[in-house]
């Protein structure tokens, strides 16, 4: 890639319509989460898996509604980083941006490793690095190319999931499994499972972080976010029910590759390789959208000098924040080469839930003239985010708290230095 001449920090071009925005949201949500999150969620919740899915969906709906109202009012790159800053103050915007960047950078690594584990299990790290490099190049080439590729990814994944649902529900194995919903579920287990499943829902924020590149954002964003979330919920519920009907809660919880195991148990062995390909494509779709979203929040924070201002440059030809994208790609390459996927997912969930907690707190401050959602929506969203965040595994909570604290310390140091210079 040739290095462009130095530019100022112009506005990005508005090229995305409702369809593009919905597809980017679907590509972010209907990804590796549905292939990877069901088994650990079933281990935590047992037969309460569907209850956990419903709980995750309620929190996600509140977050989506709050994000949509805020994004329509503040249609700029950065998402809750911008909303928190404008509604609650500079610190809260910074905290949201920091939580998003660190959480979603970990998500990028997790998705890349998921690609590697399905494509070439013995060389998962090498494949993960290659995937990050390739998709960073796609994002570098422009937002329209990213939206086009997302269409292909969503179509492939939906076709694979539809095949899994049909094979499972029409199988004789589905008639022999009893769900006994709630018989082995605990409150703590259901909450942990909801936190894990929320990881798979969280992609709708990608639409809000692309606010500066969406046409007519006041109309497009509030339509695209709930539409993408609703479609995702329907798909997830169908897949979870179908797999539960075939494997049962215990069998699902013990499955290494639950969707592949489900089609084998259904007698459709020929579908197993197709599911592996679908899982890899889904993870690629999530990785594409994740890199896109993290780079836009990095751009917004660099514009405000919370991150080095050099990252705020926009490519004069491709109209993308190319330095932010290259930096994010480089960090994810390092993580993908060294990290463990389970740790990355837990750490990511904590950061993302903190991010949405700030979004709901920001939405609470909107006035009726600013198209405020019903007060119950941000209240439930805020409480739900904090509850799910602090019922995650203890090591995820501990590491997440440490890294957030490090970011807060950096913020305090920067403010102190600025105040000293001003005096």
pLDDT (tens digit per residue) in 237-253: 999 999 988 888 888 88
Domain range annotation of the chain: 18-417
Statement: residue 397 has pLDDT above 70:
yes
> What is the SS3 assignment for 34?
helix
Distance between CA 254 and CA 126 in Å, rounded? 27
User: Averaged over 181-208, what is the pLDDT?
Assistant: 77
Q: Residue 149 has what pLDDT?
A: 65
Q: Residue 14 has what pLDDT?
A: 59
Statement: residue 387 has pLDDT above 90:
yes
User: Averaged over 291-296, what is the pLDDT?
Assistant: 81
Q: 201: Cβ–Cβ under 8 A, 6 or more apart, which residues?
A: 29, 33, 56, 57, 60, 229, 232, 233, 236
DSSP states along 286-349: HHHHHHHHHHHHHHHHHHTTSS-GGGG---TTT-S-HHHHHHHHHHHHHHHHH--HHHHHHHHH
Distance between CA 229 and CA 336 in Å, rounded? 28
Structure tokens at 357: 């907690």
332, 291 Cβ separation under 8 angstroms: yes
Q: Residue 312 has what pLDDT?
A: 86
Structure tokens at 261: 């195991």
Q: Residue 3 has what pLDDT?
A: 47
391, 341 Cβ separation under 8 angstroms: no
User: Averaged over 198-227, what is the pLDDT?
Assistant: 70
More confident call, 146 vs 98: 98
The mean pLDDT value of the chain amounts to: 82
298, 98 Cβ separation under 8 angstroms: no
Distance between CA 138 and CA 156 in Å, rounded? 19
Structure tokens at 294: 């993290």
pLDDT digits (tens, 9 = 90+) for 81-118: 889 999 999 999 999 989 988 888 988 888 888 788 77
336, 101 Cβ separation under 8 angstroms: no
Q: Residue 417 has what pLDDT?
A: 86
Distance between CA 405 and CA 118 in Å, rounded? 35
Q: Residue 405 has what pLDDT?
A: 95
User: Averaged over 61-84, what is the pLDDT?
Assistant: 82
Instruction: List the one residue out of 187, 151, 197, 181 whose CA is nearest residue 41.
Output: 197
Statement: residue 384 has pLDDT above 70:
yes
- How open is the CA angle 171-201-293, to the nearest 5 degrees? 135
**Alpha-carbon torsion angle 163, 169, 174, 179, nearest 10:** 110
Q: Grade residue 144 by pLDDT with cuts at 50, 70 and 90.
A: low
Phi (first) and psi of residue 16, to 5 degrees: -95, 135
Distance between CA 143 and CA 308 in Å, rounded? 23
Q: Grade residue 7 by pLDDT with cuts at 50, 70 and 90.
A: very low
pLDDT digits (tens, 9 = 90+) for 310-352: 888 887 777 778 888 899 899 999 988 887 777 787 788 899 9
Query: Quick one: fold of 18-417?
Result: Amino acid/polyamine transporter I (1.20.1740)
């Amino acid at each position: 890639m040739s290095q462009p001449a130095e530019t100022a920090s112009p506005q990005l071009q508005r090229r995305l319509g409702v369809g593009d925005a919905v597809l980017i949201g679907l590509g972010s949500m209907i990804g590796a989460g549905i292939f990877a999150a069901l088994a650990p969620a079933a281990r935590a919740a047992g037969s309460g898996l569907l209850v956990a899915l419903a709980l995750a969906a309620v929190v996600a709906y509140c977050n989506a509604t709050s994000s949509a109202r805020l994004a329509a009012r503040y249609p700029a790159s950065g998402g809750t980083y911008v909303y928190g800053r404008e509604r609650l103050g500079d610190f809260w915007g910074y905290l949201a941006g920091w939580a998003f960047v660190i959480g979603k950078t970990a998500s990028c690594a997790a998705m890349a490793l998921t690609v590697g584990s399905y494509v070439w299990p013995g060389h998962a790290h090498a494949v993960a690095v290659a995937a990050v490099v390739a998709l960073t190049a796609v994002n570098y080439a422009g937002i329209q190319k990213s939206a086009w590729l997302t269409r292909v990814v969503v179509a492939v994944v939906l076709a694979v999931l539809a095949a899994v649902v049909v094979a499972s529900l029409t199988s004789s194995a589905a008639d022999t499994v009893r769900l006994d919903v709630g018989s082995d579920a605990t409150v703590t287990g259901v909450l942990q499972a909801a936190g894990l499943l929320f990881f798979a829902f969280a992609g709708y924020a990608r639409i809000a972080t692309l606010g500066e590149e969406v046409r007519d954002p006041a109309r497009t964003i509030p339509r695209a976010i709930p539409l993408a979330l609703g479609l995702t919920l329907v798909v997830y519920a169908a897949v979870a029910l179908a797999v539960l009907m075939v494997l049962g809660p215990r069998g699902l919880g013990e499955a290494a590759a639950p969707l592949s195991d489900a089609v084998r148990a259904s007698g459709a062995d020929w579908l197993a390789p197709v599911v592996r390909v679908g899982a890899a494509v889904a993870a690629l779709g999530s990785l594409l959208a994740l890199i896109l979203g993290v780079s836009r929040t990095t751009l917004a924070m660099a514009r405000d000098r919370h991150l080095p201002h050099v990252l705020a440059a926009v490519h004069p030809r491709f109209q993308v924040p190319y330095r932010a994208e290259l930096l994010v790609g480089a960090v994810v390459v390092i993580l993908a080469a060294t990290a463990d996927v389970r740790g990355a997912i837990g750490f990511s969930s904590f950061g993302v839930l903190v991010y949405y907690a700030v979004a709901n707190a920001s939405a609470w401050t909107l006035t009726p003239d600013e198209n405020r959602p019903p007060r119950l929506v941000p209240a439930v969203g805020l409480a739900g985010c904090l509850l799910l965040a602090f019922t995650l595994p203890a090591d995820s909570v501990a590491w997440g708290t440490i890294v957030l604290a490090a970011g807060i310390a950096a913020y305090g140091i920067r403010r102190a230095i600025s105040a000293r210079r001003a005096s």
